Amino acid sequence: MAKHQLFLHIGPDVVEVDADVRERLAAVGVRTPDASQTDLHHADLEIRRAHRSADLTRKDVEGAWAKVCRRAFRLKSDAFVSQPGFFEADADQAALAVDGLAGLKVHLVVTPETRDDLPVAWTRLVKPGRVHAIEPGLAPADFAAELARIALTQEKARLDKALSKVKKRRKQVKDQLAA
């Protein structure tokens, strides 16, 4: 079975993931894990090791990112998580965040001012075809539409690859039957 995809928005723009955004993404098979804003905030603080700046202890945020990752994995479908604070993560922190997503195909969704603003700490962790830049400042509905387009493009590529394999196998079987 193919791995599900996780579209991880790492900012720097903050995107409001409201019911309309969830609905638009669900229409193309991309769901959001059931995680509260507190869970997501604690996950951000945990990964970036910034809990002290929020007057929290390490124990307060421990396991928050793992909780979000488990919920995304349990969806058993493509998923979307927005963590705009992750844009500021260093290479070790980015690697820690991506490690939590083992078993999923991670796609980075970034909203940089320019293409040169893509965070190297993150882009080196995923294949180049899985880094997607979306124009910053879009309304939530427009962001969702752009993300849906990206998700559909990825699904089309996956289906094209599968179809190519089926065609090749069909030809092999046909040749064997003719022999």
> What does the pLDDT read at residue 115?
77
Nearest-angstrom CA–CA distance, 125 and 5: 15
- Cβ density class 99-116: b for 16+ within 10 Å, e for less: ebbeebbbbbbbbbeeee
> What does the pLDDT read at residue 27?
97
Closest CA relative to residue 77, chosen from 29, 123, 113: 29
> What does the pLDDT read at residue 117?
84
Residues ≥6 apart with Cβ < 8 Å to 165: none
Closest CA relative to residue 150, chosen from 162, 133, 128: 133
Strand locations in 24-89 (E): 30-31, 78-82
HSE at residue 155, side-chain half, CA atoms within 13 A, is 15
What are the structural domains of the chain?
5-178 (3.40.50)
- Over the chain (179 residues), the average pLDDT of each successive run of 10 is 88 90 96 94 96 93 96 96 95 96 96 86 94 94 96 95 94 92
> What does the pLDDT read at residue 155?
94
